[in-house]
Amino acid sequence: MRILSLMIVMSWMLFTSLQANAQSEAWAKQDAASWHSPPIARTKPILDPSSGSYYQLYYIESGSKMDWWIAQRASNELLYNGRRGQLATIKSGDTHFFLMSNFSVPTKGGKFWIGLRMSCATKGFTWEDGHKLSEQQFSAWTANLYRNEKVSCHPGSLAGAPPYLPVSLVSSDNSFRWEISGPRKWYNGMLVEFPKPAE
């Protein structure tokens, strides 16, 4: 009886692993199919005096969308005045209100990827440059934090995907807020930062 039970458990584990691999391959093909051309600049690079970084809004072609990991790779391929791009970091109220002042019109009513993600293991948040959200005083979360209550870090929702949940910027009524999105959520815009060079 114990041998039979063990065989059932092992069969289930094998089935789960194959299912996860198949899902991962399907998502990889979807990523490749969704990224046909470079992102299109919606605005000019604008210098934020408080951080020393330039920020710029990008879209991809009409009818296409990208998940957070596609946006991350695309932003890293961009250059401005010798500065390599990354998904935007927003570490102070000054930078947040600067972005609202300069990008609220072109982003109105949309959702855009920024460079923040949550670890499903630790529940901690990290910016693209490695800084922890817990190290800063400023944040701008939506009232519900998550896009919807079904967004979670349980293994079933993350089979084959990196163990993170990405964060998007939500623009509405001249207000910017951050929102945790699902691991395979797709948007057509991203806010890119060209950081101040290290001294």
Location of structure tokens 């951080």:
51
Location of structure tokens 């072609």:
61
pTM: 0.77
Spatial distance between the Cα atoms of 156 and 181, rounded to a whole number of angstroms: 16
User: Domains along the chain?
Assistant: 35-194 (3.10.100.10)
Element (H, E) at 38: none
How does DSSP classify residue 177?
E
- CB atoms inside a 10 Å sphere around CB 157: 15
Closest CA to 60 of 46, 87, 41, 32: 41
Q: What does the pLDDT profile of the chain (199 residues) look like in tens digits?
A: 555 454 443 444 443 333 434 444 444 444 444 455 678 888 999 999 999 999 999 987 766 788 898 899 999 999 999 999 999 999 999 999 999 999 876 666 688 999 999 988 888 999 999 999 999 999 999 887 765 555 666 555 555 656 788 999 998 777 899 999 887 788 889 999 999 988 7
